[in-house]
Amino acid sequence: MPEATAATDGTTAYFDGYGLVGLIAVLGVLFVAVAFGAGRLLRPVVPTPEKLLTYECGVDPVGEGWAHTQVRYYVYAFLYVIFAVDSVFLFPWATVFAAPGYGAATLVEMFVFLGFLAVGLLYAWKKGVLEWT
């Protein structure tokens, strides 16, 4: 019997950390709910026609509510994300490369990785994605 108690005590100690995280999460949600509820109860509610107007950067909106967005902006954002991920892989590689035991194989692997990125960049350049017109 004492063996089963020791096993349950070990699991209880293991799950105590999760209980604490759960308690903090519940307290955080309660704090936000109480803050929003208090704001709703304490704020003055005086609707006027001026307050019900659509507001856009301090100016009354003119024209339709539908705006066309150039796809180029998304392509630039996508290219940025690709190269940000590239840097996320390069920094740890640079630290590991200096350690003993990581030599030519690590260097070759990184040049293969950079080669794939270079081919992608060349493809984007050939397609005219990098031109702002």
pTM over 0.85: no
pLDDT in tens, 76-102: 787 788 788 888 888 887 777 777 777
DSSP E strands, the chain: none
* Residue 120: exposure state from Cβ atoms within 10 A (0-12, 13-18, ≥19): middle
| Chain segment 5-45, per-residue pLDDT in tens | 545 566 777 778 888 899 999 999 999 999 999 999 999 98
Q: With left for phi above 0 and alpha for psi between -120 and 50, is residue 91 left, alpha or beta?
A: alpha
